[in-house]
Amino acid sequence: MIVDSLYERLLTPPTDKSFFLFGLRGVGKSTWVKQTFPDALRFDLLDEGLFQSYLRDPRMFGRELLRVSPRKTVIVDEVQRLPSLLNEVHRFIEERQLRFILLGSSARKLKQAGTNLLAGRALKRTMFPFLPEELGSDFNLNEVLCFGSLPIIWQSSSKPDTLDAYVQLFLKEEIQAEALVRNLPGFARFLPVASLFHGQVLNISSLARDAGVARTTVTGYIDILSDTNLAWLLPAFEGRLRVKERKHPKLYWTDAGVVRAIRREYHQIGEAERGVLFEGWIANLLRAYGEPGSALGLPYDAIYYWSPAQGGGEVDFLIQRRQEFTAIEVKAKEILSNRDFGGSRTIAELKGIKRRIVVFMGARPFLTEDGIEALPVDNFLQELRDKLL
C-alpha cells in the first residue's frame, strides 16, 4: 500500500511478474510505481528526446537493456507511444528474466500492434480514481459526484479550472498526438453528446445522429473511450424471465468530474443529475473493487445490469458469483418509497438470487417484509470492504 502524496493507494502488484498498468491520465500510475519500485530502472517515453531516439532505432532500447542484471525490474512509462518496444520486452522477459512494469493510459495502439506477444508473460492491472477507502476521512460524496476523484483533480486548489484543462489535455495529447482519430473536430462534437449517455442504455443510432457523424464512426469512438479508460460498457444480463429483456449495453464514464467537465458543468449538482451521477459512482466502485489485484477485491465473476425491454423494474447491477446473484438498485434519495423496490421484486424469480439490495442516501439500514435490504452509502461501503457482496 503506497501513499500518493497524502493518500494510500490500495493497488497490489503481482508478485515477481511483469504486468501492464493502465488507467486514465492523471490517475497516479507514475507516482505509484515510483514509490512502489524505487530501485527499478525507468524509461519515460514522455521524454521527447528518449522517444525520438527509440523511434529512429528501436534496437537502442534492447542494447540499453543488455546492461541490466538478470531478474531486475524495468519500468516503461507511456508504453503505448512505441508499441514496437514490446518485441524487446518479450525477448528480455524470456532471455534475461527481467520483470517489466508497462504503464499506459491507452491500450488501443498496443492492441493494434499485437500485444498478444506478451500473452501469459505480462498480467494486466488497472488503476482507478481515488476510492473512498483511500481518501479516508477526506472522502466527501457530494465533492466526488461534483468534481470526481482523479488525484490530479482532487488535490487541485481550483478543481473547475483543472478539470477544464484536463479535458483539453486529453484531446490534445491522448487523441490528437496519438493519432487515434482522423477527424478530431468530429470526435470533439461526439464527446459532449456521449456524456449525456452516462448511465444510459447505449443507442448508437441516436448518438450518431446527435453528434453528426456516421454510425460506424460512433462505434469506433466508443472503442476509443474504452481503450483510453475514459468510459466502459456494462453488458445486459439475459435471465430469460417472463418479460422481454434489453440486450444493449449501458455506457458508464469512469469519473464523474470528467463527464461533467466535458459538458462544461462545474456548478454544484442539481437534483436532475444527482441520480445518474450517484449510480455511475456506484458502478465504478463495483468495477474497481472487482478488479484483479485490488487490495479490496470482490470475488465475483461478472457484473451486468438487468432491465425489461418495456421499462419499469430495472436492476442497476447484477453481480454474479458462480451460479449465485446479488441484485443492486441505486436511489439518490434519503427516503425510499414502495416503488423504489420495483426492480428487486421483479427479478426475485431469477434462479440463484441470493441478495437484493437498494443503496440510498438515507441514514439507517432496514429490511423490507419480502427480504430486500435497504443500505445507506456508509453501510454499502462497509459491505464492499468486507467483501460481502
The span from the CA of 57 to the CA of 71, in Å, is: 25
Write out the CATH class of domain 132-272: mainly alpha
The span from the CA of 148 to the CA of 25, in Å, is: 14
Of 66-80, 136-150, 310-324, 374-388, which gets the smallest average pLDDT?
Answer: 310-324
Which CATH number is correct for 2-126, 3.40.50.620, 3.30.360.30, 3.40.190.10, 3.40.50.300? Answer: 3.40.50.300
- At 96-122, the pLDDT tens digits run 999 999 999 887 777 766 555 576 678
pLDDT for residue 3 is more than 60: no
Using a pLDDT cut of 90, give the percent of the chain over it.
64
- At 317-335, the pLDDT tens digits run 999 999 999 999 999 999 9
Topology annotation, domain 282-385: Trna Endonuclease; Chain: A, domain 1 (3.40.1350)
Mean pLDDT confidence for 22-48: 93
- What is the SS3 assignment for 50-106? HHHHHHHCCHHHHHHHCCCCCCCEEEEECHHHCCCHHHHHHHHHHHHCCEEEEEECC
- At 145-174, the pLDDT tens digits run 999 999 999 999 999 999 999 988 877 777
- At 171-192, the pLDDT tens digits run 777 776 655 677 778 888 899 9
pLDDT at 371: 96
Spatial CA neighbour of 282 closest among 151, 159, 144, 134: 144
pLDDT at 312: 66
The domain ranges of the chain are 2-126, 132-272, 282-385
pLDDT band at 1 (very low <50, low <70, confident <90, very high): very low
- At 48-94, the pLDDT tens digits run 999 999 999 989 999 999 999 999 999 999 998 898 899 899 899 99
pLDDT at 238: 81
- What is the SS3 assignment for 239-306? CCCCCCECCCCEEEECCHHHHHHHCCCCCCCCHHHHHHHHHHHHHHHHHHHCCCCECCCCCCCEEEEE
pLDDT at 105: 85
pLDDT band at 2 (very low <50, low <70, confident <90, very high): very low
